[in-house]
Amino acid sequence: MLITPLLFTILVTLISGIFSKSVELTFELPDNAVECFYQEIEQNTSASLEYQVITGGQYDVDVKVEGPNKQIIYQQQKMQYDSHPFTAQHTGVYKVCFSNEFSTFSHKLVYMELNVGPEQPLPGIGEHATVLTQLETSADEIHSALNRIIDHQTHHRLKEAQGRKAAEHLNERVLWWSTFETIAIVCVAFAQILILKNFFSDRPTLYNKM
């Protein structure tokens, strides 16, 4: 069976995604709540954590990364976004916790990406003994370009979601303010009608009684 360059690129990209050690998710963090995620990492393995609060409150959250020996690797309070690379000093389960305990009413929507280890090379290219062929070189370049596009699209979606939520919140505030103004105008108009009607109503006076 003859494999075209496009089919070859799709296959190696899918295989690379299967063996990738990257965790990327978006989750809801309720008020007065803590969400923790666990990842097993081997010793001397590089890793990086990136997160961003998309919606909720002042767009802030407490973050803590804890090693298997209860050592605090990274800890920040009331952060909107940040990224932190680190190297595992011990083999074991590492814990990443997001806390919203300081908030009483605001729910948060948080994006998190945890990358463990270096990026996996394309199958058949990482340990290539000879010079890469033109097809293999093109596949590797396309793979790198696709990864950059995915990162760019992810950050674009986060900004779009954050902007959309801010616009919806502003629209909701404008709606409530407009409703309040409408009710106030109706109440003032009704009060003016009553006052004017009271001016022209027939009331018994002292002259009429005599």
pLDDT in tens, 110-152: 998 898 887 666 666 655 556 567 777 777 778 778 878 877 7
**Residue-level pLDDT at 37:** 92
Q: Are residues 111 and 46 in the same domain?
A: yes
For residue 149, with 0-12 CB atoms within 10 Å meaning exposed, 13-18 middle and 19 or more buried, which class applies?
exposed
Residue 140 belongs to a domain: yes
Checking if the pLDDT of 11 tops 80, the result is: no
Angstrom distance (rounded) from CA 185 to CA 58: 33
Checking if the pLDDT of 177 tops 90, the result is: yes
Q: Are residues 104 and 176 in the same domain?
A: no
The residue with greater pLDDT, 148 or 27, is 27
Residue 14 belongs to a domain: no
Residue 209 belongs to a domain: no
Note the pLDDT tens digit of each residue in 50-89.
999 988 888 889 999 999 988 999 999 998 888 899 999 9
**Residue-level pLDDT at 19:** 41
Q: Are residues 52 and 87 in the same domain?
A: yes
Task: Give the count of domains, the chain.
Answer: 2
Residue 176 belongs to a domain: yes
Q: Are residues 75 and 37 in the same domain?
A: yes
Domain that holds residue 110: 20-119
In the listed set 96, 119, 142, which residue is the last one of a domain according to the structure?
Answer: 119
> In terms of Cα–Cα distance, which of 84, 80, 75, 21 is closest to 50?
84
Strand ranges for 57-179 from DSSP E = 61-66, 72-79, 81-87, 92-99, 108-116
Give one word for 117, left, alpha or beta, with left for phi > 0 and alpha for psi -120 to 50. left
DSSP 160: H
Angstrom distance (rounded) from CA 185 to CA 99: 44
Confidence (pTM): 0.61
Q: Are residues 151 and 176 in the same domain?
A: yes
Note the pLDDT tens digit of each residue in 33-53.
999 999 999 989 999 999 999
Checking if the pLDDT of 186 tops 90, the result is: yes
